[in-house]
Structure 1
Amino acid sequence: MATILVADDHRQIASILEEYLKKEGHTAVIAADGEEALALFAQTNPDAVLLDVMMPRLDGFAVCREIRKTSTVPVIMITARGEDFEKIMGLDIGADDYIVKPFSPGEVMARVRAVLRRMGHVQPEPRQVFVHGNLTIRLDDYEAQVGGRDVALTKKELEILWTLATHPNKVFSRDNLLESLWGYDYFGDTRTVDSHIKRLRAKLEAAGSDGWEIRTIWGVGYKFEVKPHEKPDRA
């Protein structure tokens, strides 16, 4: 749908963003430093830019200033430092959004969709709703209901539930969940996943399940298990 320039000298992060952008139907162009980013910007005329602040040769602030001399293309800046003055500087020189590491790749994709919508590049997406038995998840609203009653979940708990439930009976390792929902730059360990699952499961069990459960696969991870011959619905 769109061409996105990803400028980040951390190859692993750039590869993750490239993978997620491709899943969204976009073309990703990767730059490893500021000078390469400006060269590729001139060559490819991207629809949006994901721009790391700390890069060799030219930093993200310098790249953003150069881009703003000739273009109003959306720029989302990414940094490992969350100081207010850096955010203010980035926004003052023309960045459209600012993301602090560690980040969830899904959050970055949501920010990309938002800036592209504002530029008229993409149509509004259909609402993401999952229904199975007495469980309803509305991802856009970050709401979950069991038996028609709201279940108070944190943002991360709901993202875990959505990831598991929309892939019924698929086993996710703790590393899978940590990578996809917390991102590669997260400095915690897999016990973070376990603690979130424990709280999530307690809330769901208290609300009452019907034909489904989050099951532990010992030594591997977790899955959203449904009864045989029942198929969840995803709108």
Structure 2
Amino acid sequence: MELLIVEDDDAMASALEAAVVSAGHKATRVSRGTDALLVHRKFDVILLDLGLPDLDGLDVLRKLRQVTQCPILILTARDDERSVVLGLRLGADDYLVKPVKLVELLARIEAVTRRMAWTTGAQDRNLTVGTLAVDLDRRVASVGSRVLPLTATEFDLLALLVQHAGSVVTREQILDALWGDAFLASSRSLDVHLTGLRAKLDLPGFIINVRGVGYRIESEPA
């Protein structure tokens, strides 16, 4: 697997590259956001710092999401709620605050790539619930004739819920399937992506909150 490391700090970039290579992956490092926008097509996963010398990392994320669904993990010193929420809403698949434990980083990378493989595995490739249609091969979801502008994580969350339509999917199952950790200290990533997904679906009552347990989509919504 080829990873793009977008990081302007030499020491941090070296540590990230060493960790990635030790896990059997290939890594390329750039220090500027403009460089990331030029070369992103060559890579399977992007590790993105927000404090870049030429562009704000959130602007880089916004531009990348206009052209690619490649998994993007934010690695940054910004731990304020606004930055976390904005990064996830702009399409980041995960948000890690520095200093990052390299073992945890590798686990998160494996989780997002496993999730991508999961949505392209051998299963029913076209799912429908009421007016909602989900095409797993094309990674496209639509309500009637309206194509939903979902981020990669929003799509994977929707696909997981639709595949279990009629049954409750627990928060732990979602966290484990999408982030590789059923017991994250903070599950606000899920809350942010779920809020974004519901807004884009614009189907009140479609995703039901089963209090204290998880979420359910009815197999035959009214």
**TM-score scaled to structure 2, two decimals?**
0.52
Deviation sequence 1:12-58 (CA, Å, 0-9, x none) = 1111111111111111010111111112214x2x1111000110111
Query: Matches of 2:2 and 2:58 in 1, distance apart?
Result: 21
Q: Are 2:74 and 1:77 equivalent residues in the alignment?
A: yes
Match in the other structure for 2:104: 107
Q: Using the aligned pairs only, state the percent identity.
A: 38
Query: Matches of 1:33 and 1:76 in 2, distance apart?
Result: 16
Q: Are 2:45 and 1:48 equivalent residues in the alignment?
A: yes
Match in the other structure for 1:36: 35
Match in the other structure for 1:21: 20
Match in the other structure for 2:115: 118
Match in the other structure for 1:63: 60
Query: Matches of 1:58 and 1:33 in 2, distance apart?
Result: 7
SS at match of 1:119: helix
1:98 Cα deviation after fit: 0.1
SS at match of 2:117: coil
Match in the other structure for 1:9: 8
Query: Matches of 1:11 and 1:33 in 2, distance apart?
Result: 12
**TM-score scaled to structure 1, two decimals?**
0.49
Deviation sequence 1:108-141 (CA, Å, 0-9, x none) = 11111111111119xxxxxxxxxxxxxxxxxx99
Paired residue type of 1:41: H
Query: Matches of 1:117 and 1:30 in 2, distance apart?
Result: 23
- How many positions carry a matched residue from both structures? 121
SS at match of 1:5: strand
Structure 1 residue ranges, 4+ long, deviating more than 3 angstroms after superposition: none
Query: Matches of 2:108 and 2:18 in 1, distance apart?
Result: 16
Match in the other structure for 2:143: none
- Stretches of structure 2 lacking an aligned partner (at least 5 in a row): 119-179, 182-222
1:6 Cα deviation after fit: 0.4
Deviation sequence 1:64-88 (CA, Å, 0-9, x none) = 1111111111110011121011000
Highest CA radius of gyration, 1 or 2?
1
Query: Matches of 2:51 and 2:85 in 1, distance apart?
Result: 16
- Stretches of structure 1 lacking an aligned partner (at least 5 in a row): 122-139, 142-235
Query: Matches of 2:39 and 2:15 in 1, distance apart?
Result: 19
How much is the aligned-residue C-alpha RMSD, in angstroms?
2.0
Check conservation: 2:75, 2:100, Cα contact below 8 A.
Answer: no
Check conservation: 1:31, 1:40, Cα contact below 8 A.
Answer: no
Query: Matches of 2:101 and 2:80 in 1, distance apart?
Result: 19
SS at match of 1:73: coil
Check conservation: 1:64, 1:93, Cα contact below 8 A.
Answer: yes
